[in-house]
Structure 1
């Protein structure tokens, strides 16, 4: 199985699982904050970015096995999972099937109702911009994100 992953930092392993349609580098800002104490793996979901998709029928076991395959390949026995949106659902599936491999589970905006293709009720006219926003995010490359980090950091 081919996994596409970027790592940032050193220390205890964390895997960041992005929202659907995004690459693993969606978690770049989180990884940057954690880099002094944690090694964060920014993993593209199966079939997104450069990660190979899951062959055959997809169910919770297949998804959990996909992530277990990555942990085995990276020689990670136990991990903290950070999952955003659909990445959170994937993290839950993994925790359900392999609870002994999960140290901590952090879910970001994982549970919400199913959105229609264009969610007018939730976002009004702004909903028309969401497909363009998704396209724009997919076109942003990592070097641009790194240049933007100083502006995106929370100032204390």
Structure 2
């Protein structure tokens, strides 16, 4: 059941899938951004006044950051290692971030086209620290669309 017009979704309930496989234990997704360049056309109008028109340009590639607690799972490391060795046919994946409503029904899907890992960052190692150690995978995608 969709949300009523004046309600909004909660950001705590989301899922992630790539090539039909659910990726679990993701604690945060950031960078879901659709953006395009702006082209400025500078000209003089018929009355001689200087005008600037702004036109839509090319789409910019999305960069999405996935954060999860550090585990023995090596899928992120394998994915980025494959990209470093140029296995791009295996590395580029289609996927989606799915936001769920309070009843667990899909509310929105943010579809990623040809996403691949740009970087992998391990959280800070500090002696005596009791916080959860995380890993952040930054993906770049050719396109981000809302379905």
Please indicate the TM-score interval, normalised by the length of the shorter structure.
under 0.3
Of Structure 1 and Structure 2, which has the larger fraction of its residues in strand?
A: 2
Of Structure 1 and Structure 2, which has the larger fraction of its residues in helix?
A: 1
Higher relative contact order at CA 8 Å, sep ≥6: structure 1 or structure 2?
A: 2
TM-score by length of 2: 0.22
